[in-house]
Amino acid sequence: MKKINFVLLSLVLLSFTSCTLLDKAKQITQKNYSGNLQGAIALGVPLKCTFKINDDGQQMENISYIKGKKYSGQIEQDGKKTNVVLVDECMWSWSDEEKKGIKTCFDQIQDKTKDESEGSEPAENKSVWDDLGNLKNEQINCSPALFGDEKFAVPKDIEFMNMDNFLEDMQNWGEELEGSDSSLPEEVEDMELDDNQQVDDLMQEDNSEEIGEEELLKLQHSMEEIEGQQ
């Protein structure tokens, strides 16, 4: 009997909590939210949003889910769909068709940029959410919704390239290139010398042929003069 009462009490509490969250969301967005993305993020309640972005004349439509600093959406442009998940300062983007994507953590990129610009004036510490919230020309409409963190789960069957590691590898490669000897290896220099020698030999052969023709013409001209005198 106690076990049944406990289960009933849990269900009542769960129902009450869900209704409370939904009521809170409805109180904040009684007439649905219409504004910019930054305002939707600041509401702090689970929202399902649709918005359009006009980027250099190209219009993109988006259906997204927002819960604090968690964002999940699908952008459609020119018939192509791209999935985007943003949690804190890390973003995953991928296409279902190609099964490949990119992962980027913006806070790590900022840390690397600070290390590279050491000694210069410190750059303003901005969050990716500031840039996302300041998108221009968007028309966003949101309504309260109930969903969990599964909306922000990254699929396991997608191969993600880590842009942080890629940028670090590129930086290390550049440093190695700057510190390496710029002179050509001996094998390459020998190959260049051999090629130049072959060119010189060909030039000499061509010159010898030209000289032989000139001598032949002179000899023919001399013979004609002798015949004319006779």
Between 51 and 161, the more confident residue is 161
Average of pLDDT values for 97-107?
85
- Model confidence at 173, pLDDT cuts 50, 70, 90, reads low
Mean pLDDT of the chain: 66
Question: How far apart (Å, rounded) are the C-alpha atoms in residues 56 and 155?
Answer: 31
Where are the chain's structural domains? 1-30, 31-179
How confident is the model over 119-128, as pLDDT tens digits? Answer: 555 445 556 5
Contact 182, 124 (CB under 8 A): no
How confident is the model over 38-70, as pLDDT tens digits? Answer: 677 777 788 898 877 766 666 777 788 988 889
pTM for this one? Answer: 0.52
Element (H, E) at 210: helix 186-229
Question: How far apart (Å, rounded) are the C-alpha atoms in residues 83 and 106?
Answer: 18
Contact 46, 66 (CB under 8 A): yes
Between 127 and 5, the more confident residue is 127
Average of pLDDT values for 13-22?
38
Q: Measure the CA angle with vertex 65, ends 21 and 32; round to 5°.
A: 60
- In this prediction, residue 25 carries a pLDDT of 44
- Architecture of the domain delimited by 31-179: Clam (2.50)
Question: How far apart (Å, rounded) are the C-alpha atoms in residues 224 and 221?
Answer: 5
State yes or no: pLDDT of 191 exceeds 50.
no
- Model confidence at 228, pLDDT cuts 50, 70, 90, reads low
Contact 82, 94 (CB under 8 A): yes
State yes or no: pLDDT of 117 exceeds 60.
no
Question: How far apart (Å, rounded) are the C-alpha atoms in residues 145 and 47?
Answer: 5
State yes or no: pLDDT of 82 exceeds 80.
yes
